[in-house]
Amino acid sequence: MTFAPKRLACGAAVILIVAACDAPTPVGPVPQARLDGGTTIAGQLIAFASPRDAGLFQTFVMQANGTKVTQLTNQPFYNARPDWSHDGTRITFTTCRPWDNSCEVYVMNANGSGQTNITNNYATDHMSVWSPDDRKIAFASDRDGNWEIYVMNADGSNPVRLTFDNAVDEQPSWSPDGRRIAFQSDRDGNHELYVMNADGSSPVNLTHNPGSDERPRWSPRGDKI
């Protein structure tokens, strides 16, 4: 059986996580040394997704200069959207493995070992991002019949729904201080960028534009998106 990754494939080959030891010293405090939506000082590695292996998306890591490419996943299914923990020891990713009956968020060690399903839900769970202290993971899921933003403990326990709207809410991004989450929603008729408190309260439309505004990322100091 093959599971269609539904909304998962868009852009999956393009980004994904950068870890850079030689990042410039930021001005002012940056919690957990996180420098942007996918950068940490844990090591000189880039994690990315690519269909170079027989057309199937797999997760890889390479040196920041593009050398020493290492494949971390080797299941013949969709394995993409990696996100480093801020301490550099773990990576979450989305995979669609038939024995899970859906697309799930997995976590693995930075060398690809210990791949573990942490969502275990018959719905599709994806777009996982670590909180600045690595204690929680935000993600998007359609487990309640609609695409919403959730947060769970780093081991997958205690999933909590943060958004409650009939629109599509996805692409969560933590602020550097962990107090807010930016996300993408079409609740106002087209894709706009919103920000809410980390508990889901007080969602606010930031963009108000007839164009499509997507994939929010915070600046290092948390004063811009």
168: left (phi over 0), alpha (psi -120 to 50) or beta: beta
Asked whether the beta carbons of 18 and 63 are under 8 A apart, the reply is: no
The pLDDT tens digits of the residues spanning 76-119 come to: 999 999 999 999 999 999 999 999 989 999 999 999 999 999 99
Using 50, 70 and 90 to split pLDDT, how confident is the model at 8? low
Domains of the chain: 6-205 (2.120.10.30)
- The residue with greater pLDDT, 90 or 13, is 90
| Max Cα-Cα span within the chain | 51
One-letter amino acid at 185 equals S
- Provide the Cα torsion 34, 32, 110, 8; round to 10°: -50
pTM of the model: 0.82
Q: Which residues of 96-134 are buried (b: 16+ CB within 10 A; e: fewer)?
A: bbeebebbbbbbbebebeebebbbebeebbbbbbbbbeb
Residue 214 has pLDDT above 60, yes or no: yes
Residues in the chain: 225
Residue 176 has pLDDT above 80, yes or no: yes
Residue 79 φ/ψ, nearest 5 degrees: -140, 100
Residue 1 has pLDDT above 80, yes or no: no
Between the alpha carbon of residue 199 and those of residues 27, 56, 166, 214, the distances in Å are 28, 36, 19, 21
